[in-house]
Amino acid sequence: MVQHFRMLRIILSPEQHTELQTLRRDPTLRPADRDRVEMLALSAAGWAVGAIADHLGYHPETVRRLLRRFPAEGFAVVRQRPPGPSADPERRERIGGLLERLLGRERTWTAAQLADALREHGIRLSARQLRRYLRGLAAWRRTQRTLRHKQDPGRVARAREELAFFGGGRRRAS
């Protein structure tokens, strides 16, 4: 049985051709985006999907997927979108405000404890996601948080005496 495949080929209008040439010179394109521009240009020049894939080092299905999306999406297919939902500045601001309020309390927190505290306010974040929010807060720096303010001076003095008695905790050469 012989299978016949319809050749995928992009036919550009004069305006689209001009836009493609402009994109080829765009310094803000990342290398993967530049490869997608080249896929479109080679297809418009009459190259077959397999030849484009071989030339650029991609799988043929990757090239096919791009060429199929082009008629509906236009040159938006060139720039890769980050995975996941689009940014929600209102939610980010709300979470930031809640975190600042929680971190202002007289206690220390782990990321998991903060995530649990946020659940009470209807926000579900993993500890890992929460750490990303914490990095963005100027009020929170992991290295600035110490337990010195909670230490008992008497216990600290006894521990220092004990360490001095055992040689400062240094190992002796045998």
Taking each helix axis from N to C terminus, what angle separates 89-103 and 127-136, rounded to the nearest 10 degrees? 90
Total tally of structural domains belonging to the chain? 2
Residues 69 and 25 in one domain: yes
The residue range of the domain holding 44 is: 14-77
CB 6 within 8 A of CB 52: no
In a domain, 127, yes or no: yes
Domain boundary among 77, 105, 121: 77
CB 41 within 8 A of CB 24: yes
Among the listed ranges 45-54, 71-80, 130-139, 164-173, which one has the minimum average pLDDT value? 164-173
Domain boundary among 33, 50, 77: 77
**pLDDT (average), residues 47-61:** 94
pLDDT at 65: 94
For the entire predicted model, the pTM comes to 0.50
In a domain, 164, yes or no: no
Name every residue whose Cβ is closer than 8 Å to that of residue 160 and which is 6 or more positions away in sequence: none
Residues 105 and 128 in one domain: yes
In a domain, 118, yes or no: yes
Given a cut of 60, whether residue 168 has pLDDT beyond it is: no
In a domain, 24, yes or no: yes
Residues 30 and 72 in one domain: yes
Domain boundary among 77, 103, 123: 77
